[in-house]
Copies of this chain bind each other. A is one copy, B any other.
Amino acid sequence: MGNCIQGCKDYFSRQKNTNIRLTLPVVCFVWQIAMIILFGVFIRYDEESDTHWVETKAHDNITSDIENDFYFRYPSFQDVHVMIFVGFGFLMTFLKRYSFGAVGFNFLVASFGLQWALLMQGWFHSLDPQTGKIFIGVESLINADFCVAGCLIAYGAVLGKVSPVQLLVMTLFGVTLFAVEEYIILNLLHARDAGGSMVIHTFGGYYGLTISWVLYRPNLNQSKRMQGSVYHSDIFAMIGTLFLWMFWPSFNSAITDHGDGQHRAAINTYLCLASTVLTTVAISSLSQKTGKLDMVHIQNSTLAGGVALGTAAEFMISPYGALIVGFFCGIISTMGYIFISPFLEKTLKIQDTCGIHNLHAMPGVIGGIVGAITAAAASESVYGKQGLINTFDFTGDFKDRTVLTQGGYQAAGMCVSIVFGVVGGAIVGSILRLPIWGDPADENCFDDEVYWELPDEEEEHQESIPPILEYNNHMIHKQQDLSESNFSVEHCES
């Protein structure tokens, strides 16, 4: 009886907490209307996606439509798009009963964030001073997807512990912070970071980890039964892993220079990731008594190489250099899952559901360092005179910059991304602690039940369960208050 009352209490407290029927629609509607107004004021097609291109083209002596930037970048854009929606979404389906939330909220957050990203990045990077407009093309779409990636990384740290409204708030501030740090790193410091080791992964990683730290749940073990995977959910997660892994060369080459820049970035990332797989498998196997592999490592650490080559992929790091980066990233990331994640949780009180520290934060920092070293070590003999200028964009205000100075600015850029992640995460985390966002109770974490209408599984079970069990089921419904032993006796006497 006491249990029943407690249960009722739980039921109502839970209802009260997680009802998002008001907040979620309001946020979605208000936001979308705001987007429409702001797009109406600011966003226009750029010259390559405008019908006037027929004249622009003639004016610029472009002889063929194939030189439209669309054909340079659209295939990479679509690959990046798949990484954002299927890659990140399915990677997070590994939990046994949070796949709807993983794929569904990822979908919502990305759709929400990419619109704001187009505006924020536009204001900071490409606002035309004469017209006051932002002109967008396929490269803007890629950048918006990149920006969203930072927020989805942060989602990985708090997966299962926040409400969709909190996610939208996290994304709103995340995109804003992203645009500012990106502006500082790429424009003011003039650091190179085409694949976003710093601006995407380091920032997103520390942003998410700090938020998770602020939202620390000391009683999270109350939902321990929902943590961990089941066989099928691990295979769903592999869909995410593989699409991220396969398309990472497109991610790192999507906005690099036309021609050899995109070509080289793709080759480097391809090689680096292959190397990561081997060392991930090696460390995973070493970590178990009988050498069995752990799916968590295979799903995540195999991707660390792509993260760590985000900055240097477009440089002349050379094929064996790419392999070396992948080699160490596989080791470090897998060791992170084995040793560092438990330490973070127990000692630093950072609960990191997907282990983004091992997949994004650490490899991102490695990527920043690799980028700084590679830049500082660049030379005209390797790059060629013009090649060096093109690769590091030593033009305009920066035409006298040396590679050593560039290395320093790269390192500075990495620090900026960490600072933005940690400070921004602390502030946003505090906002998310307000008791108005409908987040789940500790015992309801990692459970789709809270925010999703789940299909009724009972019928299916009755299908596959033999009659005797159906009978048992039937009895149980009548007698749920009986203790186990009583029930058993009753069962036999009947």
Contact flags A241-271 to B (C-beta < 8 A → 1, else 0)? 0110111011000000011101110110011
Is A399 an interface residue, CB under 8 A from the partner? no
A380 CB to closest chain B CB, in angstroms?
A: 10
> Is A55 a contact partner of B386 (Cβ separation < 8 A)?
yes
> Is A86 a contact partner of B239 (Cβ separation < 8 A)?
yes
User: Using a CB-CB cutoff of 8 Å, which residues 1-50 of chain A contact chain B?
Assistant: 15, 18-25, 28-29, 31-33, 35-37, 39-40, 43-45, 48-50
Residue of B nearest to A273 (CB): B111
Residues in chain B near residue A104, CB distance under 8 A: 238, 293, 295, 298
Residues in chain B near residue A89, CB distance under 8 A: 238, 242
A175 CB to closest chain B CB, in angstroms?
A: 13
The answer to whether A231 and B455 touch (CB under 8 A), given A21-B286, A291-B24, is yes
Is A395 an interface residue, CB under 8 A from the partner? no
A486 CB to closest chain B CB, in angstroms?
A: 11
Among B49, B85, B489, contact of A263 (Cβ-Cβ < 8 Å): B49
Residue of B nearest to A484 (CB): B471
Among B44, B230, B250, B275, contact of A318 (Cβ-Cβ < 8 Å): B44
> Is B466 a contact partner of A464 (Cβ separation < 8 A)?
no
Contact flags A373-401 to B (C-beta < 8 A → 1, else 0)? 00000000011101110110000000000
Residues in chain B near residue A485, CB distance under 8 A: 494
Contact flags A442-464 to B (C-beta < 8 A → 1, else 0)? 00000000111111110111111
Residues in chain B near residue A464, CB distance under 8 A: 457, 461
Residues in chain B near residue A491, CB distance under 8 A: 468, 488, 492
> Is B289 a contact partner of A35 (Cβ separation < 8 A)?
no
Query: How far is B103's CA from A189's CA once the two chains are assembled, in angstroms?
Result: 43
> Is B85 a contact partner of A246 (Cβ separation < 8 A)?
yes
The answer to whether A74 and B266 touch (CB under 8 A), given A25-B282, A294-B453, A387-B52, is yes
Among B21, B50, B238, B487, contact of A103 (Cβ-Cβ < 8 Å): B238
The answer to whether A57 and B235 touch (CB under 8 A), given A79-B78, A107-B277, A115-B323, is no
Is A278 an interface residue, CB under 8 A from the partner? yes
> Is A107 a contact partner of B35 (Cβ separation < 8 A)?
no
The answer to whether A236 and B235 touch (CB under 8 A), given A31-B278, A70-B262, A246-B81, is yes
Query: How far is B290's CA from A15's CA once the two chains are assembled, in angstroms?
Result: 7
Residues in chain B near residue A49, CB distance under 8 A: 260, 263-264, 267
A190 CB to closest chain B CB, in angstroms?
A: 18
Is A347 an interface residue, CB under 8 A from the partner? no
Stretch from A133-141, A154-162, A195-203, A360-368 forming part of the interface with B:
A133-141
The answer to whether A232 and B234 touch (CB under 8 A), given A32-B323, A114-B274, A242-B89, is no
Stretch from A178-186, A403-411, A412-420, A472-480 forming part of the interface with B:
A472-480
The answer to whether A387 and B51 touch (CB under 8 A), given A285-B25, A291-B20, A455-B229, is yes
> Is B103 a contact partner of A138 (Cβ separation < 8 A)?
no
Is A288 an interface residue, CB under 8 A from the partner? yes
Query: How far is B451's CA from A350's CA once the two chains are assembled, in angstroms?
Result: 31
> Is B28 a contact partner of A86 (Cβ separation < 8 A)?
no
> Is A460 a contact partner of B96 (Cβ separation < 8 A)?
yes
Is A469 an interface residue, CB under 8 A from the partner? yes
Of the listed residues A18, A97, A138, the one surrounded by the most CB atoms of chain B closer than 10 A to its CB is A138
Residues in chain B near residue A164, CB distance under 8 A: 281, 293
The answer to whether A290 and B54 touch (CB under 8 A), given A271-B115, A457-B464, A468-B488, is no
Query: How far is B231's CA from A236's CA once the two chains are assembled, in angstroms?
Result: 12
A138 CB to closest chain B CB, in angstroms?
A: 6
A68 CB to closest chain B CB, in angstroms?
A: 5
Question: What are 14 pairs between A and B in contact, CB < 8 Å?
Answer: A21-B288, A21-B291, A29-B282, A32-B275, A45-B264, A54-B387, A74-B266, A78-B247, A82-B246, A111-B274, A225-B462, A228-B459, A468-B476, A485-B494
By Cβ-Cβ distance, the 3 closest A-B pairs, closest first, are: A51-B387, A21-B291, A65-B259
Given A48-B259, A70-B266, A108-B281, 20 more pairs with CB closer than 8 A: A21-B291, A33-B327, A44-B319, A45-B264, A49-B260, A49-B264, A51-B382, A53-B260, A74-B75, A85-B246, A86-B242, A93-B235, A103-B242, A107-B302, A225-B459, A229-B455, A295-B452, A457-B464, A468-B484, A469-B472
